[in-house]
Amino acid sequence: MTQTLNALPELLDAQSLTITEVARACQTDEGWIIQRVTTGVLQPDTDATPPNAQAWRFSSRALLRARRIAELERTFDADPQLAALTADLMEEVRALRRQLAFHGLDLNDH
């Protein structure tokens, strides 16, 4: 799962995705996306309100986040807010590991 999710930003970096495309990629429905946007768990790139959710556009980064949250919710029956926090922490760990690798440090050496 992680390798597939990590490959998505490079594949979709310049694309803007609709709510339908994000829902399909997350194996959810549009209602799931609308609920997560309404509660602040997901952020579309545009400022449309839920009645105009079809106008929302999502970046590949938002898609990656949505897929992680959906997977965490399904796998662990997690609350959406908890799944979002976990997704944030997972991304932070990845970023820190990239920084360590950039500086020639490896956590596995210690």
Q: Within 13 A of 42's CA, how many CA atoms are on the CB side?
A: 33
Q: What is the pTM of this model?
A: 0.81
Domain boundaries, the chain: 2-109
User: Would you say 66 and 32 are in contact if contact means Cβ atoms under 8 Å apart?
Assistant: no
- In CATH terms, is domain 2-109 a member of 1.10.1660.10? yes
Question: Strands, DSSP E only, in 13-77?
Answer: none
Element (H, E) at 10: helix 2-12
Question: How large is the average pLDDT for residues 97-109?
Answer: 87
In tens, the pLDDT along 1-19 reads 444 444 444 555 668 999 9
Burial class (CB in 10 A: 0-12, 13-18, 19+), 104: exposed
Token pair of 73 as six digits: 């919710």
Confidence at residue 29, expressed as pLDDT on a 0 to 100 scale: 98
